[in-house]
Amino acid sequence: MYNIFVDGQHGTTGLKIHEYLLKHPGVKLLNIDYEMRRDVKVRREYINNADIVFLCLPDSAAREAVALVENNHTKIIDASTAHRTKDEWAYGIPELCPKQRDKIKSSNRVTVPGCHATASIIALAPLVKGGIVPSDYPVSIFSVSGYSGGGKEMIAEYENNKDEYLKIPRQYALGLNHKHLSEIKKYSGLTYEPIFMPVVSNYYNGLAVSIPLYTNRLLKYRTAKDICDFLTEYYVGEKFIQVIPFEDESLLIDGRFNITGCNNTNMAEIFVFGNKDRIMLMTRLDNLGKGASGAAVQNMNIMLGINEETGLV
């Protein structure tokens, strides 16, 4: 039985991790009193008594929490953006490449990717690394997500506010400097940060990114079906990433895409649409599942050397 502490357990990600772990047969949760959650002395004790600590904190608080570790056995899984591009931290997409699981398993420090980043990277990285999409391709990413991705304040805004403008999709990060850009660039193998346009909409959870490609701009000519076949082979055998067969419309609703199709799972599904000239990569996942808390638990299982699916299916 492993001791697990969630530092920041009362936030959206922390609560969802707690929900997963309550059904996990191999762990014991160390629960801190709500009134003591900011007491450094008490947090230090909990952190150092845990085998795994999940950090569900703002970036500055996550860095402070890491500094509280005083032993060599406590492993950290950080759900903030504080360490996502640090080389000394393992990046928490196990399916990223053949060696990524070993890197996660052997590391005491793992960073959970952002939800938009996960959806973008798993579609793009194999194509860049496979010499199909050039690393300097001018990538554009359009992402639609539910309001739970904005945390407690945004959830309260949507659920307690009846203003008409909240009923329609809202673009944000209009300065084109979204916090997920640096990790998308690094782990997709891109030379430049993409243009990224996120949109928050009036539903709770679920996310989909869309990435357009021109076949005449690829390093190797590939049709949409070729790309789909390539990604299918890349992710063959993966439990939590599925590439949907080309032109399979069974998962569409009246020919329309269902953003919430992976909700309440740790799955990510990649779709490829298009023709011989133009391609659209689309990835959907639950921003609270494979996009955050589910991914965190998946990484915990790998770090502890137990079945990767434990507590997730």
Indicate whether 249 pLDDT > 90.
no
pLDDT of residue 162: 80
Q: Which of 56, 97, 115, 228 is catalytic?
A: 115
Considering the segment(s) 115-287 as one domain, its CATH architecture is: 2-Layer Sandwich (3.30)
Mean pLDDT for the chain overall:
95
pLDDT digits (tens, 9 = 90+) for 155-174: 999 999 888 889 999 999 99
pLDDT of residue 54: 97
* 3-state SS, one letter per residue, for 10-25: CCHHHHHHHHHHHCCC
pLDDT of residue 220: 87
Average pLDDT over residues 56-82: 96
pLDDT digits (tens, 9 = 90+) for 72-123: 999 999 999 999 999 999 999 999 999 999 999 999 999 999 999 999 999 9
> In the annotation, is 115 catalytic?
yes
The pTM score is: 0.95
* Beta-carbon contacts of residue 4 (< 8 Å; ≥ 6 apart): 21, 27, 28, 29, 30, 50, 51, 52, 53, 54, 300
Domain boundaries, the chain: 2-113+291-304, 115-287
Assign domain 2-113+291-304 to a CATH class: alpha beta
